[in-house]
Amino acid sequence: MKKINNERFVGLSASVLAILCGLLFGFILLLVTNPSQAVNGFLMIVQGGFTDGMKGIGDVLYYATPIIMTGLSVGFAFKTGLFNIGASGQFAAGAFAAVFVGIKWTFLPAGIHVIVCLIAAILAGALWGIVPGLLKAYFNVSEVISGIMMNYIGMSLVNLLIRTSIYDQLKNQSLPVAETAVLSKMGLNKVFDGANINAGIIIAVICVILVYIILEKTTFGFELKACGLNTNASKYAGINEKRNIVLSIVIAGALAGLGGALLYLAGSGKFLQVLDVVAPEGFAGISVALLGSSNPIGILFAGLFIGYITVGGYNMQLYGFVSEAIDIIIAAIVYCGALSLLFKTLIYKFQMKKRNKNNKKEEA
């Protein structure tokens, strides 16, 4: 047991080290672009969501919700040995399905309507995931290639469908969804003092717990992880590895799709834009999954952290920094996160040295 705890400790401290290195890099960046305001700007980032009291914290939770979902999507697939770079397309598909149902199916009673929207998003995301899944399982097509393709198909198709069905020509975006399709605030906006927070974060946390239980406690998770760690041995043991590949990426797609719904049904004044941009939340999900070492609980905290410094980034604009600066800093942190293996080895080495020293002391 001790060894397992040590592994967790090393994993956690590697993530913390990655974050510190990324922040340091960010500070240097701020120093270079605007030396006089660098310290103030940096303090804003570090203060992050705490700057505005409860409202700030509420906003952190709001920003974190969709990227926790895409992070879960990427992390879940990763446990099965798949790199779900298609989370963006699944996210967009889910977002569109939710908004479409939210606008068009007003015949549904309140309470049911929003749930149908969420289910539509889950199905759309899953559908977007099943294509790379089937290609991977039965034709050994890399899920990275087909995932990227599905991202572009998703982006263009969503743009097309918005224009033909739910288009607000004046604003070049989707129409607002019906009141009955908006996620309940559940009084959270009162607790958090007018922030955009809503039931989405609760759904995200429930998903985190569900994914954790699936992966750690069930036979299904046992199979998925076995396939991810060693496909050959799984096949040898009689596990249907093809079925697991498809299921894994379908579930990942459903998670990302649900994430899309949670963002666009938040009632925060966010609309589907007709832009030729692949949904950035999907890529943010990759960062979150990396930073959280694909562990559901880790992903929860990584998502919260990224939400936290994103809010800090907005506040930083007060000091004349462009909001892209915060994107670069997040990228730097993720970059360092990707190097976490290096940090892990460093920490192991450090521990080893310490142990050797202790041993020598004991000998002497």
Partner 1 sequence: MSYVIEMNHITKQFGSFKANDDVTLQLEKGEIHALLGENGAGKSTLMSVLFGLYQPEQGEIKMNGKPVKINNPNDANELGIGMVHQHFKLVHNFTVLESIVLGRETTKIGILKMDEARKKVMELSKRYKFKIDPDAYISDITVGMQQRVEILKMLYCDNEILIFDEPTAVLIPQEISELMKVMKQLVAEGKSIIFITHKLNEIKEVANRCSVLRKGKYIGTVNVADISKEEMSEMMVGRKVNLVVNKKEATQGEPVLEVKNLTVKGKTAGKDAVKDVSFTVHKGEILCVAGIDGNGQSELIYGITGLMPIEKGQVILNGKDITKESIRQKCLDGLAHIPEDRHKDGLVLDYTLQNNLVLQTYYSDRFQKNGFLKFDEIREFAKGLIEKFDIRCGQGEDSVTRGMSGGNQQKAIIARELDRNPEIVIAVQPVRGLDVGAIEYIHKQLIAQRDAGKAVLLVSLELDEVMNLSDRIVVMYEGEIVADVNPQEITREELGLYMAGAKRGVKNEEN
- Least distance (Å) from partner 1 to the CB of residue 221? 8
| Partners of 174 in beta bridges | 167
Backbone angles phi, psi at 174, to 5 degrees: -75, 155
Q: Give the Cβ contact number of residue 24 at 10 Å.
A: 15
Shortest spacing between CB 291 and partner 1, in angstroms: 21
How many chain residues interact with partner 1 (CB under 8 A)?
Answer: 23
Q: What is the dihedral of CA 202, 206, 212, 218, to 10 degrees?
A: 180
Contact 148, 85 (CB under 8 A): yes
Q: How far is the CB of 222 from partner 1 (least distance, A)?
A: 5
Closest separation in Å from C-beta 75 to partner 1: 16
What is the nearest approach in angstroms of partner 1 to the Cβ of residue 120?
27
* Closer CB to partner 1, 235 or 270, in the complex: 235
Q: Interface mask (CB under 8 A) for partner 1, residues 339-358, using x and -?
A: -------------x---x--
Instruction: List b or e across 27-63, with b for residues whose CB sees 16 or more CB atoms inside 10 angstroms.
Output: bebbeeebeebbeebbebbebbbebbebbbbbbbbbb
27, 220, 314, 335: which one binds partner 1 (CB under 8 A): 220
Report whether 122 contacts 258 (CB < 8 A).
yes
Q: Report the nearest approach of partner 1 to the CB of residue 253 (Å).
A: 21
Long-range contacts (CB closer than 8 Å, 24 or more residues apart) made by 346-355: 347/10, 347/13, 347/14, 347/17, 348/10, 351/6, 351/10
Instruction: Report the residue count for the chain.
Output: 364
Min. distance of Cβ 235 from partner 1 in angstroms? 6
Q: Quick one: 188 or 215, whose CB is closer to partner 1?
A: 215
Q: Is 6 left (phi over 0), alpha (psi -120 to 50) or beta?
A: alpha
C-beta closer to partner 1: residue 237 or 342? 237
Residue 77 or 333 having the CB closest to partner 1: 77
By CB under 8 A, tell whether 314 contacts partner 1. no
Q: Would you give the binding string for partner 1 spanning residues 190-219, x where CB under 8 A is met?
A: ---------------------------xxx
CA 153 to chain centroid: 21
The residue among 35 and 238 lying less far from partner 1, judged by its C-beta, is 238
Binding mask 224-253 for partner 1 (x = CB under 8 A): -xx--xx-xxxxxxxxx-------------
Nearer to partner 1, 77 or 266 (CB): 77
Q: How far is the CB of 133 from partner 1 (least distance, A)?
A: 20
DSSP secondary structure of 250-274? HHHHHHHHHHHHHHHTS-SS---B-
- Which residues are paired to 168 by β-bridges? 173
- Helix, strand or coil for residue 179? helix
The DSSP bridge partners found for residue 273 are: 173
Least spacing, CB of residue 227 vs partner 1, in Å: 9
Segment lying near partner 1 (by CB under 8 A), choices 1-9, 63-71, 85-93, 267-275: 1-9
Determine the Cα angle at 297 with ends 292 and 298, to 5°: 15
Beta carbon nearer to partner 1, 68 or 226: 226
Residue 187 or residue 361: which is nearer to partner 1 going by CB?
Answer: 361
- Near partner 1 by CB under 8 A: residue from 9, 138, 152, 222: 222
Name the residues that contact partner 1, by CB under 8 A. Answer: 1, 3-4, 217-220, 222, 225-226, 229-230, 232-240, 352, 356
